[in-house]
Structure 1
Amino acid sequence: MSRPEHIAPPEIFYDDVESKKYSSNSRIIEIQTKMAERAYELLAIPETAEGLMLLDIGCGSGISGDVITDAGHYWIGCDISQHMLDVAIDREVEGDVMLRDIGQGFPFRAGSFDAAISISAIQWLCNAEKSHHNPRKRLHTFFQSLFNVLTRGGKAILQFYPENSAQIEMITASALRCGFSGGLLIDFPNSSKAKKYFLVLFTGNNNIMPSAKGVEGEEYEQQEEEDSNEVKYSNRKRDRRRVTKSKGSAQHKTKEWIMNKKDRQRKQGREIKNDSKFSGRKRGPKF
């Protein structure tokens, strides 16, 4: 499946049809909301803090802004797609939104924002959509401007979808050169589907990196991209192929093999039943 960045520039890709999915497609709304909630969680804003001003970078239809509003804070969002902003306005979001190419920086005074979040946006800066675009220069402009508009001691959580390790290096290095401290946090690094990249950036000395999810086999509710009925159907077919030819019963695996497989699946972020004294024990004959 092609990446959106390879199909068209963002202001064209997120046209009227694509933008309306972000107000009508429950699956998209659920995924965007969960990522925004995780980004806000990583900001680690004290519960006693109220009425902070946050910047929502690539705000789109305002789904991530709703998370900020629910937390009791104010926000300003910017996006390059007018169609996405129209959806946000139609949804009557609480924050203010503006049309802006983040590769050109932000038109705000220094120290205007206490924190910033971004969901699925900054990877677009790695593409040269126009002949005069230089991805490295645009990333530098973006991060330098972001550093300037944040208060000292502010934090930015930027979730993105890197295409390869070279993009990760280019994005991270550009942020650090502009004065930020911090680094990359990866939730569920052993799962190809649930893996999420967050760039955690600090403007001050309070730069304790938060903990990632799923590093030690932590269980979670896996977000399947395929239709759940199709997944279950394919699994049943695969299970049927495992029966032996002699007696038609599933081939018995050793306890060690079963425990190793369960450990491997936990590291991939799958929901696995807890171990017990019956795990791997051979069952008696059926009636």
Structure 2
Amino acid sequence: MQCSTRVQQIQADMTYRALELLNLPPDEPAFLLDIGCGSGLSGEILDEEGHVWVGCDIAPSMLEVALEREVEGDLFLQDIGQGFGFRAGSFDGAISISVLQWLLNAETSHPTSSPPHRLTRFFTTLHAALKNPSRAVFQFYPTSDDQVQLITSIAQKAGFGGGVVVDFPNSKKARKVFLCLYVGGGGGQQQVPKGLEGEEVDEEDDGRAVFEKRRERLRSREKGGKRKGIKDKDWILKKKELYRKRGKEGVPRDSQYTGRKRKAVF
């Protein structure tokens, strides 16, 4: 089932914020894991921002929608509470939007299906799958401080650094909770970012105007005299090389025409 336009907008806002918190090197394609990718809404933004991504989800129906939409990322079915089986150091980072809280639900009465066991498998295998240094950012909806404490303590036991970032803490509608985790690194890499603050946001727009302004600033920021959205030859070659390293099939070969501007056809 397709999401409403409003839900899509909220998802997009949170994805852009997660990317901001990932603090990836500018103008460098990264290989990212989208945890709980659903129909690929966040993945489309990752692709738009120049990254290569892999998405996992527990719902076959959502992955089918993503396939129908022909998203760029590779997709696989996965219960994240069972952990991952990726090669060590596979990913440059990970994001997850509105998923982490579901690991707090026990699947059965068996001890290995308890939230602590599922969280431990998840964070331990994710930590191994991430490069050193790197980050993972999760937007989630905790229902209590105890849940936040349980999640952060298990993540720390798995080897992560970092902590919780709360945007707009005084707004009932715009308030968003992010868990920003680090693998390795030092100095500024280990410093937990500050949450966004501001005046009380109108509940009708759900903080949308604030996120829109921040998103436009990010996308229009010039790096090295170029807008990030402009895909020149060097950018295209870097992304194609990253695709090849990850074993993606059907990557076009390089030629003298790579990155060349096409004349408009009328």
TM-score range, shorter chain: 0.7 to 0.9
- 1:123 partner amino acid: Q
Change (3 A) 1:220 1:44: farther
Provide the TM-score with structure 2 as the length reference: 0.73
The structure, 1 or 2, with the larger RCO (C-alpha pairs under 8 Å, 6+ apart) is: 2
CA distance in 2, matches of 1:222, 1:167: 26
Deviation at 1:73, TM superposition (A): 0.7
Does 2:182 align with 1:210?
no
Unaligned runs of 5+ in 1: 1-19, 226-268, 270-287
Q: How does 1:1-287 map to 2 (within 5 A)?
A: 20-22=1-3, 25-50=4-29, 52-132=30-110, 133-205=113-185, 206-214=189-197, 217-218=198-199, 224=205
Deviation at 1:163, TM superposition (A): 1.3
Match of residue 249 from structure 1: none
- 2:45 partner amino acid: V
CA distance in 1, matches of 2:144, 2:181: 20
- Structure having the higher Rg: 1
Per the alignment, in what secondary structure is the counterpart of residue 86 of structure 1? helix
CA distance in 1, matches of 2:106, 2:6: 30
Unaligned runs of 5+ in 2: 212-266
Provide the TM-score with structure 1 as the length reference: 0.67
CA distance in 2, matches of 1:160, 1:108: 23
Change (3 A) 1:209 1:42: same
Deviation at 1:107, TM superposition (A): 1.7
Deviation at 1:220, TM superposition (A): 5.8
CA distance in 2, matches of 1:223, 1:189: 17
Change (3 A) 1:223 1:101: farther
CA-based RMSD of the aligned residues comes to: 1.7
Identical aligned residues as a percent:
50
Large movers: runs of 4+ above 4 Å: 218-225
Number of matched pairs = 202
Asked if structure 2 preserves the Cα contact closer than 8 Å seen for 1:21 and 1:28, the reply is no
Describe the superposition over 1:75-123 as per-residue Cα deviations: whole angstroms up to 9, x where unpaired: 0000000111111111110001110000011121000000000000010
Deviation at 1:129, TM superposition (A): 2.2
